[in-house]
């Protein structure tokens, strides 16, 4: 190792930088972006009004504690605002948690097809990401328990998970929590919680409220349609909120995000419209793509994982190119150890129908 120039801490150069979903399709006039699980309905119109208002006062620093936003979130969920912290996207919070709770030589567990921010955040601290195998593209509580070692400090669980769309029932989440030593931080990432329509699902509020080692991260990027503003929040025990407050940027959430976030969280009817659109088209896509003979992993979120045969002319890579040529931009998920699959977000009715038609054409079974 050269000592003639600055060296990043161990782990940093092992990181495979996150590659965001594509947003353009070269040479195609009309593009449908279905690559980053953004909502096809956009944000609440009230959030856009609130966002525009902030343009009149760009010279002022935002409220570093995001007090009004935390109060609005507290009202929406019945939570104590003192136990909420906001971040520049939940990515920010996941990285802050890693920085606060991981050090060289520690281990943080995530599952095989778990969200890529977990290993990135872990390696950035000098700790080691440990991968627990999944069963049927779903987190496996016993496998996670088996992966625990004396070095484990954090367990990351996306519930539902991205890019698989699968989830763990709350009983399973509680069973996992019971098996964790009390010094292990359990990070429940519930970015898609609003979309889930299952009686046995819970985002984790109750578990956070009744334990000292669980946090729940949420985002404004998905159902609230504010991905561009970068806004997320976390509910946790007072001692974790305190630790993260000490290391976060003093103004980590900007004024436009705060204003739009308050309006968004208060607009229940917009959230309900988004949820209803998703419920309808998630079921439709799962069924119609299944009818084409492609396996679709059952999803409770706002996207589906479509599996392709590893057979020349029909591979995920070729399907991706075909969809791209029609302006249908979906996500390749090789980085998630799913080289034979594509993930598509639930889009507008027009986009959803175009994808199914394109896949049918791709597979040579014109409808």
Region near ligand PLP per CB under 6 A, out of 88-96, 140-148, 194-202, 310-318: 88-96
**C-alpha span between 287 and 277 (Å, rounded):** 16
Q: Could you tell me the smallest distance in angstroms from the CB atom of residue 89 to ligand PLP?
A: 3
Half-sphere exposure of 318 (CA within 13 A, CB side): 11
Q: Tell me the residue nearest to ligand PLP as measured from the CB.
A: 89
Q: Residue 151, SS3?
A: coil
Answer yes or no: are the C-beta atoms of 51 and 256 closer than 8 Å.
Answer: yes
* CA-to-CA separations, 332 to 117, 207, 216, 305, 337, in angstroms, rounded: 16, 34, 28, 10, 10
Q: Select the residue interacting with ligand PLP from 219, 271, 274, 345 (CB under 6 A).
A: 219
Pick 185 or 358: Cβ nearer ligand PLP: 185
Pick 81 or 89: Cβ nearer ligand PLP: 89
Region near ligand PLP per CB under 6 A, out of 87-95, 148-156, 305-313, 332-340: 87-95
Pick 157 or 328: Cβ nearer ligand PLP: 157
Q: Select the residue interacting with ligand PLP from 119, 232, 236, 347 (CB under 6 A).
A: 232
DSSP conformational letter for 132: E
119 binding ligand PLP? (CB under 6 A): no
Q: Could you tell me the smallest distance in angstroms from the CB atom of residue 56 to ligand PLP?
A: 26
**C-alpha span between 147 and 130 (Å, rounded):** 7
Which one, of 171, 181, 237, 179, lies nearest residue 208 by Cα? 237
Give the list of residues 6+ apart from residue 229 with CB closer than 8 angstroms, or none.
Answer: 51, 220, 254, 256, 257, 260, 261
43 binding ligand PLP? (CB under 6 A): no
Q: Could you tell me the smallest distance in angstroms from the CB atom of residue 301 to ligand PLP?
A: 8
**Which two three-digit tokens encode residue 297?**
């992993």
Q: Select the residue interacting with ligand PLP from 32, 51, 101, 115 (CB under 6 A).
A: 115
Residues that bind ligand PLP (CB under 6 A): 37, 89-91, 115, 158, 162, 189, 191, 219, 221-222, 227, 232
């Amino acid at each position: 190792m050269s000592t003639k120039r600055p060296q990043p801490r161990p782990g940093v150069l092992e990181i495979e930088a996150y590659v965001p979903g594509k947003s353009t399709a070269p040479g195609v006039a009309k593009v449908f972006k279905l690559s980053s699980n953004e909502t096809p309905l956009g944000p609440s119109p009230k959030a856009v009004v609130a966002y525009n208002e902030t343009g009149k006062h760009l010279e002022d620093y935002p409220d570093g504690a995001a007090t009004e936003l935390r109060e609005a979130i507290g009202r929406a969920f019945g939570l104590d605002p003192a136990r909420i912290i906001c971040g520049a996207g939940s990515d920010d919070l996941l990285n802050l948690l890693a920085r606060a709770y991981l050090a060289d030589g520690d281990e943080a567990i995530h599952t095989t097809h778990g969200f890529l921010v977990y290993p990135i955040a872990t390696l950035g601290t000098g700790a080691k990401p440990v991968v627990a195998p999944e069963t049927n593209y779903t987190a496996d509580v016993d496998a996670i328990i088996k992966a625990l070692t004396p070095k484990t400090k954090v367990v990351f669980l996306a519930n539902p998970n991205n890019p698989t769309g699968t989830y763990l029932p709350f009983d399973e989440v509680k069973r996992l929590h019971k098996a964790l030593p009390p010094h292990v931080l359990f990070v429940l990432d519930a970015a898609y919680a609003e979309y889930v329509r299952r009686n046995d699902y819970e985002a984790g509020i109750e578990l956070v409220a009744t334990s000292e080692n669980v946090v729940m991260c949420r985002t404004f990027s998905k159902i609230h349609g504010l991905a561009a503003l970068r806004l997320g929040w976390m509910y946790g025990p007072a001692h974790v909120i305190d630790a993260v407050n000490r290391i976060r940027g003093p103004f980590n959430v900007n004024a436009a995000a705060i204003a739009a976030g308050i309006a968004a969280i208060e607009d229940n009817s917009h959230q309900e419209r988004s949820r209803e659109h998703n419920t309808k088209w998630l079921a439709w896509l799962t069924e119609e793509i299944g009818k084409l003979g492609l396996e679709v992993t059952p999803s409770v979120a706002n996207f589906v994982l479509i599996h392709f045969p590893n057979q020349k002319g029909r591979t995920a890579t070729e399907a991706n190119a075909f969809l791209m040529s029609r302006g249908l931009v979906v996500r390749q998920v090789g980085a998630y150890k799913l080289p034979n699959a594509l993930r598509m977000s639930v889009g507008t009715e027009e986009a959803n129908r175009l994808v199914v038609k394109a896949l049918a054409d791709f597979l040579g079974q014109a409808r």
